[in-house]
Structure 1
Amino acid sequence: MSNLKNVLLTANTSWYLYNFRKNTIIALIENGFIVTALAPNDSYSEKLETLGVKFIDISIDQGGTNPINDLRTLIQFNKVFSSNRYDVVLNFTPKNNIYSTLAAKINKIKVINNIAGLGILFINESVTSKIARLLYKISQRNADKIFFQNEDDKKLFLEHNLANESITARLPGSGVDLSRFEVIPSQDDGVVRFLLIARMLYDKGIGHYVEAARVLKAKYGNNVEFNLLGFLAVENPSAVSEVEMQSWVDEGIVNYLGVSDEVEKEIAKVDCMVLPSFYREGVPKSLLEAGAMGKPIVTTDNVGCRETVNDGVNGFLCVPRSTQSLIDKLELIIQMSHEERLTMGLKSREKIENEFDESIVINCYLDAIKEVLEK
């Protein structure tokens, strides 16, 4: 392939592109592509530029449902696409998958989309969800390739006739960097530490985690510890507020660790990773990273989450929205010996190495770009 192919990556935050697609960007540059990143400007935009990409700012109202704002976003995409010659655009995150695809088609640019969890779109029968489904239908029929992170989403898309099966493929989530996330056993100090990493949303099961922590703290006292890490008070109807979080911390049932660019330091300290999400996930990055570091996983038998656990082998699956089921599974972890937990965690590493190595994802992207450019 000539080394003058222009590739554009778009997402609804620069944070996402830097944290989830950094190695993909590096691989594209190493393969001779000219890379541009298009996302709202935030503290990660400059970090993207240090990788060697050109950065373009765009405004995207992430969770908003105002059609005027979305129309503005579409117009902005069109403006960028029409003023530069791009060969292929890789879209991540929902609104990018819709509006960037529409704009790309107007400008005859090849499109590769990544459907990472459909959130509430297909659960909800609200007017907003119906409009979103219609927009997906119109836009995705114009894509050249669509990657899904789990079989459930792919099946749903095909059932709703949103895409032609021939252009769909499945990826192992966004993959995980196995050299950055390596096995680090927790200390054997008599305390069993749990960690939940996510945006602090009730849909991610934060409420159930806190209730479980309250029950288990009452039973095991200081022999158990429950930690939370991730963005707080985000713009989302199911967001946990700062006041709520502070009340849980004051009650002494959880520790809130804020946000971190070096999550591996926090994962290293714990005995088990937890995510009781009932949201339609892609494949949660936090579970992949914890698995790569040799941690047992407790998560829900839910879309995207269940892909990371062989129940009873490298962790446990609990019933979505059931605090009691979560308590039962966490207690299984607490009652294991330190050695048993480490052994279970090594099974996680094995699973991640076999199924979720980031290099698998990067190679799929390089192949897909080659494929759509040759069409």
Structure 2
Amino acid sequence: MKTKVAIIGTTAQTLLVFRADLIKQLIKEGITVFAFAMDFDELSMERIRKLGATPVAYSLSRYGLNPAADLIHAWQLSRKLRDFQIDIVFSYFSKPVIFGGLAARLAGVKRCVGMLEGLGYTFTPTQQFSFKRWFARHVQVLLYRCILPRLDKVIFLNKDDQHDLLERHCIKVKDALVLGAIGLDLNDYGYSPAPQSPFRFIFIGRLLEEKGILFYLNAAEAIKKIHPDVVFTVLGQMEKKGNSKKLTERFLKCQSEGVIEFPGQVDNVAEWLTLSSVFVLPSYYREGFPRSTQEAMAVGRPVITTNVPGCRDSVIDGSTGFIVEPNDVQALIDKMLWFIENSEAVESMGRAGREFAVLYYDAEKINTRLIQAIFDN
């Protein structure tokens, strides 16, 4: 009888973007895969089926904390796991790890592995104290204390996350692994030299303050005054939750004044990267290991990012790009101007980035390690 693996995530989009290569590799190895998401529609379910997996819809609030509702949803999820006779549960992101892990134990699943792709919003430092964030972090740590020791393995994407969660909060687990990058299908991100003109910076990510979008806008406005022909592209979706009215108004103003171009959320990220010169991610969010920096390096684009966990792990400072301090807009502007004035470095650093991506961001190699971690006793 084939081993049955349940992959429990949040949205269908995260399954299709982040887990498609893993699903295909598991299917190739003869594993029966059930892909769980909260928001399946007919189109996304059909795309999951084309990968060879069975889509399964389940309920769990993506944001906030409602203990009664979350526990009911965990119980409902456990019944689905029992009905499908799942052998192994692999969950990723915070709430699926916590409540998917609880559901797996309630269902008597033989093996349960959780992967935390960054510590997220509650662990992101802010300049002003927020009681709401402080309280949410303490509740989240309490839940981790209850669940993580009961998982067979906990996977992190960088060492800082492992230290700041397990060691700092004295959480004992059976086994832990630092995986690093989640990887890409490099066939989808082929190398190409950067275009000669116009010089184009690009930001890709959720449009949250913590992701550094405001710093990117500030830098764009400053550089436009010196180099009006430089183009600043933003790809992503404006988040309704977690953004201030001030940021939304500022973003719309920059768009209307032509400071930035904003195609929104696109499916052809690689094509937009090949049209660009340098990728910029001025995030201070508690990233796991940003996919966007991997994508940029894979197509041969240097990266400017910040000295925060996850981001700093993805770039070799001075070789494949630059690392600046978070919240330092002037340092960001200086590095962006340096690339404009030293355009030959775009190609040399871009090539170094592509070589690094081939060595360390190949999804097939990384998923081989991940599958071994999921199955290894």
Give the TM-score range, shorter chain: over 0.9
RMSD: 1.8
CA distance in 1, matches of 2:212, 2:12: 26
Say yes or no: does 1:171 pair with 2:172.
Answer: no
Q: Given the alignment of the two structures, is residue 204 of structure 1 paired with residue 205 of structure 2, yes or no?
A: no
Alignment of 1:123-134 (within 5 A): 123=124, 126-134=134-142
Find 2:171's aligned residue among 150, 162, 167: 162
2:226 pairs with one of 215, 219, 239: 219
Q: Which is worse superposed, 169-178 or 42-51?
A: 42-51
Q: Partner letter of residue 218 of structure 1?
A: K
Q: Residue 59 and residue 135 in structure 1: after superposition, are their counterparts in 2 closer, same or farther (change >3 A)?
A: same
Question: Alignment partner of 1:60: what SS?
Answer: coil
Unpaired segments ≥5 residues, structure 1: none
**1:89 & 1:33 partners in 2: Cα distance?**
13
Aligned counterparts of 1:291 and 1:243: Cα–Cα separation in 2: 32
Cα distance in 2, alignment partners of residues 368 and 268 from structure 1: 34
Matches of residues 70-219 of structure 1 in structure 2 within 5 Å? 70-109=70-109, 110-123=111-124, 126-159=134-167, 160-164=169-173, 167-189=175-197, 191-219=198-226
Determine helix, strand or coil for the equivalent of 1:321: coil
Q: Deviations over 1:187-221 (max 9, x none)?
A: 112x2101111011010000000000000001111
Q: For residues 7-54 of structure 1, what are the alpha-carbon distances to aligned partners after superposition, in whole Å with 9 as ceiling and x for unaligned? A: 000111110011011010001011111110111124533311221211
Corresponding residue for residue 23 of structure 1: 21
Q: Deviations over 1:215-237 (max 9, x none)?
A: 00011111x11110011234335
Cα distance in 1 for partners of 2:69, 2:218 equals 38
Per-residue CA deviation, residues 270-317 of structure 1 (Å, 9 max, x unaligned), is: 001110000000011011011011100000011100011111111111
Q: What's the CA shift for 1:64?
A: 1.9
- 2:92·2:116 contact (CA, 8 Å) conserved in 1? yes
Checking the alignment, whether the CA contact within 8 Å between 1:233 and 1:242 is kept in structure 2 is: no
Per-residue deviation, 1:67: 2.7
User: Cα deviation per residue 1:101-157 (whole Å; 9 max; x = unaligned)?
Assistant: 011112221111111000133357622211111001111111111111011011123
> In the aligned structure 1, how far is the partner of 2:294 from the partner of 2:124?
25
User: Taking structure 1 as reference, are residues 217 and 305 closer, same or farther at Cα in structure 2, changes over 3 Å only?
Assistant: same
Structure 1 residues 70 and 279: alpha-carbon distance in aligned structure 2, compared to 1, 3 A threshold: same
The one-letter amino acid of 2:117's match is A
- Within a 5 Å distance, the mapping from 1:1-375 to structure 2 comes to 4-43=2-41, 44-109=44-109, 110-123=111-124, 126-159=134-167, 160-164=169-173, 167-189=175-197, 191-222=198-229, 224-237=230-243, 243-337=249-343, 339-372=344-377
What secondary structure is seen at the aligned counterpart in 1 of 2:313? helix
How has the CA–CA distance of structure 1 residues 58 and 236 changed in structure 2, closer, same or farther, with 3 Å as cutoff? farther
Q: Provide the C-alpha distance between the structure 1 equivalents of 2:301 and 2:288, rounded to a whole number of angstroms.
A: 20
Shift of residue 355, structure 1, vs aligned partner: 1.9
Structure 1 length-normalised TM: 0.93
Q: What one-letter code is carried by the residue in structure 2 that aligns with 1:221?
A: P
- CA distance, structure 1, for counterparts of residue 285 and residue 366 of structure 2: 23
Structure 2: gaps spanning 5 or more residues: 126-132
Q: Per-residue CA shift, 1:298-348, capped at 9, x if unaligned?
A: 0001110001111111111111011111111111111112x3211110111
Once the 2 structures are TM-superposed, how far is the Cα of residue 241 of structure 1 from its aligned partner? 6.8
* Number of corresponding residues: 366
Aligned partner of 2:201: which letter? F
Give the deviation of 1:248 after TM superposition. 1.4
